[in-house]
Amino acid sequence: MNNDRLAAIAGLTAPGMDYEIVPGEVWGRPCRMFKNAPPTLRDLYQAASSDETFLVFEDERYTFAETNDRVAQIANILIDQFGVQKGDRVAISMRNFPEWVFAFNAATSIGAIAVAMNSLWLSEEMEFGLKDSGAKVLFADQERLDRLSPVRENLDLDVISVRATNKPANTSALEDLLAGEVSKLLPDVDIDPGDPATILYTSGSTGHPKGAVSCHRNIVSALLSWELDGKVGLALTGAEAPQLGYQITALLAVPLFHATGSHAVMLASYRSQRKLILMYKWDVPEAQRLIEAEKVAVFIAPAAMTGDLERAARTATRDLSSLLTVGGGGAPRAPDQVQKIAGTFEKALPNTGWGMTETNAIGAGIGGEDYVNHPESSGRVSALLDLRVLDESGKELLPLERGELQIRGVSIIKGYWDREEANLEAFDGEWLRTGDVAYIDAEGYLYIVDRIKDLVIRGGENIGCAEVEAGLLAHPQVREASVYAVPDDRLGEEVGATIFADDAIDADELRGFLVEHVARFKIPRYLEISSEPLPRIASGKINKRQLREEFVSALG
């Protein structure tokens, strides 16, 4: 079967074909790339201009052409009124409003770098991200403006409010800026495919989040890779692309600051002229209503959300028959959920993939009956990328042997913003160390079995254990802290922690203390308080594995 897939890829990517692959270079690294890809994100947006509906939010609707008009207006405002130049960072921190898309597209259309900030961050985290990226301008909604207020005086940047009901005096309202005569023609800016386009923050195993830097070519290559995967899937099954008779529609419930939301859902909608329904927040009954009302065909989200929808669909009174794809991303999906999706929905089949912020969300993919037959696999590698598995000595392993997964190719980031030490640690020559323990079978199917990095992946959100440990250790009574992942049926993993404190300390009081230091989703659900120093391994480090195993065993 792998030979059939390779033959299908070879045919679709041959000279003269739409997805022709040629040798190239990105960030000074040799790679394979699509000959006919749009050079930049700006080209992607402009080529898609039409009267088809693009964005739907509550009772608001914007066509692709109207979106491009608004993007051009904001681009002109950024240049003329805020002095944004090529290479400047423009940060975005808000809910999934249409303005998130407008601001992102405007920044990347003028050669600026869009900084997609985690909208769950608290004041200290926002301050770090804005300082670390050196953002010149921030787009923020009311919730983020409120969180920014305590640290605003520490920051040197302009703030543009979006849908704010109580904006600070030193903030410009986007609606006021747009009220004047603002050109709907994009400013003339020369952008190269290799120019930086985005900084997406990702939680690492140590300290603060790191800003992953991608160029236009990185991102556009990921978008066309998903398209190619779809064509390959059709070629292997002999099926025809579905003819719906109406505009294909996707439901966006995952945050746009994730590569899944911004890339696999939002940006991937341009070339297909796909309508995008933006949800303010995840709500299962509302999702079912929208699927029925808008004839949603595509839903891509972490396993927690797709599991919620599958469970609700068993007793749903809404018509969900328009769904064709229930995709995964951001976190592993239990094999049981794969089978249930295939059995519960009238037409929809599951798909998923493995990728990282650092790979622009692509790496390996699988879908349809292939996924149902290999429910534990993350799929097979993208045609533009290469995977390998190494042992601890750096030797490349044979099929089925477990080791560290590494990846290289056109979608891999330059590195982390202003973090040279982290870059040296992350890269093995041109290969990116993923921090995942994996194996690849003889047919090329990838299986992720563990991780090397000290992370908790909660509902698709990466949580650095060291960051939570630092928050715990900031409490005057806490002497030692160890944070680890605890299995969870819905979210995949929850945050657990064991601490050693000088005196008796109340768990709820400690969680209340943490609210001021880390975002709420990072606060441990499980908190063990030890009256003894925590166990250590020979090197003197806390024995996190022992603590985790003992706690999980006690849970039963």
**Same structural domain, 89 and 168:** yes
Specify if 51 maps to a domain: no
Q: Is residue 123 included in any domain, yes or no? A: yes
In a domain, 50, yes or no: no
Q: 128-137: per-residue pLDDT in tens?
A: 999 999 999 9
Residues 98, 19, single domain; the answer is no
The upper half-sphere exposure of residue 310, i.e. CA atoms within 13 Å in the direction of its Cβ, equals 28
d(C-alpha 93, C-alpha 387), whole Å: 34
Rounded to 10°, the helix 335-344/303-313 angle is 40
Instruction: Please report whether residue 79 resides in a domain.
Output: yes
CA–CA dist 39, 19 (Å, integer): 14
Residue type at 30 in one-letter notation: P
114 is in which domain, residue-wise?
64-202
What value does the CA radius of gyration of the chain take, rounded to a whole number of Å?
A: 23
The verdict on 77 and 105 lying in the same domain is: yes
Same-domain pairing of 73 and 188: yes
Block means of pLDDT (10 residues each) for the chain, 556 residues, are 88 97 97 98 98 98 98 98 98 98 98 96 94 98 96 96 93 95 96 98 76 98 97 87 91 94 97 97 95 96 89 91 88 82 90 94 94 93 97 95 96 97 95 94 92 82 83 85 89 90 83 88 91 75 84 84
With tokens 């006919």, the residue in question is 36
CATH code of the domain in which 359 resides: 3.40.50.12780
**In Å, what is the CA distance from 547 to each residue of 9, 482, 537?**
47, 8, 12
Torsion, CA 76, CA 80, CA 81, CA 82, rounded to 10: 90
* Residue 369: both structure tokens together: 């009956």
Q: Which amino acid is at 123?
A: S
Pairing, β 446-451 against β 431-440: antiparallel
If residue 418 lies in a helix (H) or strand (E), which one and from where to where?
none
User: The domain that contains 519 carries what CATH number?
Assistant: 3.30.300.30
- Which residue, of 177, 202, 227, is where some domain finishes? 202
Same domain, 282 and 421: yes
108 and 88 fall within a common domain: yes
**Residues 6 or more apart in contact with residue 181 via CB below 8 angstroms:** none
Tokens 């050196």 -> residue? 134
Bridge partner list, 416 = 212
Q: Are residues 235 and 310 in the same domain?
A: yes
Number of domains in the chain: 3
Beta-strand pair 403-409/385-390: antiparallel
The C-alpha atoms of residue 438 and residue 453 are separated, in whole angstroms, by: 13
pTM: 0.88
Question: What angle (nearest 5°) sits at the alpha carbon of residue 51, between those of residues 47 and 55?
Answer: 85
Distance CA 17, CA 35 (A): 9
The string of pLDDT tens digits covering residues 404-450 is 999 999 999 999 999 999 999 999 999 999 999 899 999 999 998 87
**Judging by beta carbons within 10 Å of its beta carbon (0-12, 13-18, 19+), is residue 281 exposed, middle or buried?**
exposed
Quick check: is 54 in a domain?
A: no
Q: Are residues 106 and 230 in the same domain?
A: no
Cβ distance 470 to 535 under 8 Å? no
Q: To which residue do tokens 């290969």 refer?
A: 431
Same domain, 256 and 388: yes
What pLDDT score was predicted for residue 538? 60
Tokens of 84: 């944004």
Domain boundary pick from 451, 485, 518:
451
- Does 29 share its domain with 69? no
Q: What CATH number is associated with residue 190?
A: 3.40.50.980
Residue with tokens 């099929």: 399
Q: Are residues 500 and 436 in the same domain?
A: no
- Rounded-to-integer distance, Cα 174 and Cα 139, Å: 9
CA distances from 14 to 5, 25, 232, 236, 365 (A): 14, 19, 13, 17, 21
Same domain, 540 and 478: yes
Residue 437 within a domain: yes
User: Residue 1: its pLDDT value, please?
Assistant: 59
The pLDDT score that the predictor gives to residue 206 is 57
Task: Report the C-alpha gap between 101 and 109 in whole angstroms.
Answer: 12
In three-state secondary structure terms, 387 is: strand
Domain membership flag for residue 209: no
The domain boundary residue, chosen from 169, 202, 235: 202
Percent pLDDT > 90 in the chain is: 71
The pLDDT of residue 371 is 92
- Asked if residue 59 is part of any domain, the answer here is no
